[in-house]
Amino acid sequence: MAGRAQIAERHQAARWRPPLLSRSLPPPAGGLDLLEHIATVLVVRREQEIYCQDSPADHYYRVMSGSVRTVKLLADGRRQVSAFLLPGDLFGFEALATHDFAAEALQDSLVARYPRRAVEALAQRSVQLSQLLCALATARLRQAHDRMLLLGCMTAPERISTFLLQMSDRAPPSAEGRFELAMSRRDIADFLGLTIETVSRTLTALRRDGTIGIARRIRIEIRDRQALQSLIGALRP
C-alpha cells in the first residue's frame, strides 16, 4: 500500500492508450518554456501512482495529457482528494521536504517531470521563473481557500454545483458545457467531503429536473448553467 512511487518511463508504454479527456496541450506559460529543457516525460497508466505520500519531494510535475489526482489517505481508510489536475497544470511543487499527498493518474497520461534542484537553480537566475513559481504557490493557496469555503460552508447540492461548474470551466471552451468525468464517484466524494451515495443522489436529482444530462455515468452536459449558478449564488461574498 505505502510502496514507493512506481513510475513508468517512456519505453514502458506498451498498451498505453490515448486518454479519454485528451486536450491539446496548452503552450507553456511564460517562463515555463525554460523548464522544458530539463523535463523527463513519464507515461503513466490509469490508477498508477506518480509519487506516494511522504516520499521525498525532489521533482516538480506537469500534466501534459490525461489527468491526475492528489490524495491523502488516513489510518482508518478515510481519504481526501486534494485536487484534480488537467493538462497544463503543475503539481508537486507545494511540498516542503516530502509530499503531503500522493499523486495518481486518473487515466493513461503523459506527465512531465522536472528535477527540483534544477528548477531551483534556474529560478535563481530567472526572475521570471521564480516569480512564476511564487505566483503558482499563491494561486494554489487561493484555490485552497476556495476549497475551505466549500468544505466549511456549503451544502451537498452547492458542492456538486460548484464542482460541475468548475469542471465545465476547465474543459476546452469548444465543449459548450459538455465534458467527461475522468474520476470515479468515490474520487468526487472524497474531493467534496461527501459520500458516494450523496454524490450519486445529488447528480440524479439534477438530472431529473433537467439541469444536467448524464450519459454512461461519465458524460456530463450542463443544460441549465443558470440553475447551477443560482444554487451557489448566495455564497458570492
The residues binding a second copy (CB under 8 A) are 53-54, 72-76, 78, 80, 82, 94, 96, 100-101, 130, 134-135, 137-142, 144-145, 147-149, 151-153, 190, 192-193, 233-237
The span from the CA of 188 to the CA of 192, in Å, is: 6
Coil vs helix vs strand at 23: coil
The span from the CA of 72 to the CA of 70, in Å, is: 7
The span from the CA of 127 to the CA of 35, in Å, is: 14
**Subset of residues 162 to 191 that bind DNA, contact rule: CB under 7 A:** 184-186
Q: Which three cell numbers stand for residue 57?
A: 519531494
Amino acid at position 236, single letter: R
The yes or no reply on residue 69 touching DNA (CB under 7 A) is no
| Residue 62 vs 159, nearer CB to a second copy | 159
Helix axes 196-208, 185-192, angle to 10 degrees: 100
| Residue 23 vs 72, nearer CB to a second copy | 72
Q: Out of 118, 218, 221, 223, which residue is the one contacting DNA (CB under 7 A)?
A: 218
CB of 81 to DNA, least distance (A): 13
- How many C-beta atoms lie closer than 10 Å to residue 205's C-beta? 14
Give the footprint of DNA on this chain (CB under 7 A).
Answer: 155-157, 184-186, 193-201, 203-204, 214, 216-218
